[in-house]
Each structure stands twice: as C-alpha cells, then as structure tokens.
Amino acid sequence: MIRALVVASLLIFPVPALAQDDAEAPAACTAWSAQMQEDEGGEVFTAEVCAKDLPDAYLSMTCSASSINVRYDLAAGAERSPDPGETAGVDFTIGMSIQRLQMEYEEMDGMFATDVPAAGPLVALLASGQDLKIGDGNGLYPQHTFRLSGSSSALKELLAHCS
C-alpha cells in the first residue's frame, strides 16, 4: 500500500532532473562563440561559452595587443557574494592539466578578471580536451564545467582580432 502511494505521488509530482540534458542546454552552452559584442567602450570581439551545468555562468575572453582579458563569473550559483577587490586563485582544469590564474573581482559587472599572454599556456589548454572545469582553489565558490566544442576555432578567430 505504501509503495503504491509513493509510486502514485511520483507520477503526480515528478522529481526535477538534477542535471540538464545536452538536448535541452541553451545553444550558447553547447559550443563556443566568437563575435563582436557591445561593451562599455563600444564593440569588442569576444570569444565565450557558458557552463553546461549552470547556463548563467559565463567564461569570456577579449584580446588586446598580445594579451587576453579573461572574465569569469566565479560566484555564479554560490551562497556568498565576493568582497570588493577580492582575489582568488582560479583553477582551469582539463584532465590532469591545470592552469591557475590569480583573478580579481570587479564589481562593475560582477566578474572575476585577469590578463594572460595571448600565446600563453591557458590558450593552448583551452584548445584541447573535451570538458573544462573551473573552480577556485579555496573551494569558496562552486566548480562549473564548460564544453570545449568550438574553442579552438573561436580562440583562433579571437587571436586574429588582436591589435
């Protein structure tokens, strides 16, 4: 009797899925994009992708001369808000390869940001593998997973727009 009530209640009140199915993921979360986007100083060429486990968490990159500005919403889905000017060691992990960046919270857009060399190891890392995991080294913020589908061509296009 109890088993029948449990089964009936599951049919009436379905349990939501814990992970979003790839078929339901927003297009921005299935592959990287590279295009002109509006910024506070005008249009800027941007390569970006959103997390497959949290579509509100974005990783975006813009290029200037020989450096790439990396912006990431480290606090997306967190139970705490970053402090003004907070810095964090942020790990970019693909398989066994890890690149740690010191990133600083910028209140204007709520993103953590840093500059890296355009020809540096992070760009090479992002052009390889299947999935990228990003999280802070202290575990204050949740780790998110990003697809690398299209990352190589998006980064190549981004680097072509460096001036």
pLDDT digits (tens, 9 = 90+) for 107-157: 988 999 999 999 899 999 998 877 999 999 899 999 999 999 999 999 999
Q: If we measure between CA atoms, which residue out of 80, 97, 83, 85 comes closest to residue 139?
A: 80
Q: Judge whether residue 6 has pLDDT over 50.
A: no
15 located within any domain: no
pLDDT tens string 112-125:
999 999 989 999 99
Here the CATH number for the domain that contains residue 73 is: 2.60.40.1880
Q: Judge whether residue 101 has pLDDT over 70.
A: yes
At 27 the pLDDT is 60
3 located within any domain: no
Q: How far apart are CA 116 and CA 42, in angstroms?
A: 22
155 located within any domain: yes
Which helix (DSSP H) or strand (DSSP E) does residue 139 occupy?
none
Burial class of residue 86 (count of CB atoms within 10 Å of its CB; 0-12, 13-18, 19+): middle
152 located within any domain: yes
Q: How far apart are CA 128 and CA 6, in angstroms?
A: 46
Domain that holds residue 106: 32-160
149 located within any domain: yes
Q: Judge whether residue 5 has pLDDT over 50.
A: no
Question: The dihedral of CA 15, 16, 20, 24: what is its sign?
Answer: positive
Least trusted range by pLDDT, from 37-41, 56-60, 74-78, 85-89: 37-41
Number of domains making up the chain: 1
At 84 the pLDDT is 93
At 127 the pLDDT is 85
Q: What is the pLDDT averaged over residues 64-88?
A: 93
Q: Judge whether residue 29 has pLDDT over 90.
A: no
What one-character DSSP code corresponds to residue 130?
A: S
What one-character DSSP code corresponds to residue 160?
A: H
How confident is residue 50, by pLDDT bands cut at 50, 70 and 90?
very high
